């Protein structure tokens, strides 16, 4: 699943170079938190317990522990902040950025990952 998040971190890196210092610090902190969560997220993805929805966020697909649910909430909150930062730089909205990110995630997703189509249907990547 490393391939799934690699482009996302590239976008954050590019954003860091183009933002004022205060926003850059926020993006750096967010990026670090996301990197720390990645191994646990990859495990949940591989177990089929979570999927990537069509808005650019993680959705539970199975029973999660309280800690796992909190981890997903934290990841989605950080994604929302990143999407907002990107939107402010691209004259877009966080929703538009998230939807575009969902398309890129689906394109680069590993086999077996739960994804949500533009129409809202869930499927496993083949």
Quote helix, strand, coil % in the chain, to nearest 5: 65, 10, 25
Task: Find the mean pLDDT for residues 83-90.
Answer: 92
Evaluate the CA torsion angle 10, 80, 15, 26 in order and state its sign: negative
CB atoms < 10 A from the CB of 108, how many? 16
What's the CA gap between 71 and 53, in Å, rounded?
Answer: 16
- The predicted pLDDT at position 12 comes to 55
DSSP assignment letter at 25: H
pLDDT at 11: 56
Average pLDDT across the chain, whole number:
86
pTM: 0.81
């Amino acid at each position: 699943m490393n391939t799934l998040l690699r482009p996302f971190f590239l976008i954050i890196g590019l954003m860091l170079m183009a933002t004022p210092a205060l926003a850059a610090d926020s993006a750096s902190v967010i990026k670090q938190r996301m990197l720390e969560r990645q191994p646990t997220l990859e495990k949940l993805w591989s177990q089929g317990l979570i999927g990537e929805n069509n808005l650019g966020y993680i959705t539970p697909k199975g029973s999660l522990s309280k800690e796992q649910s909190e981890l997903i909430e934290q990841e989605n909150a950080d994604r929302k902040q990143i999407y907002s930062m990107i939107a402010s730089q691209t004259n877009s909205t966080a929703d538009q950025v998230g939807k575009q990110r969902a398309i890129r995630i689906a394109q680069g997703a590993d086999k077996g990952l739960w994804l949500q189509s533009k129409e809202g249907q869930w499927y496993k990547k083949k």
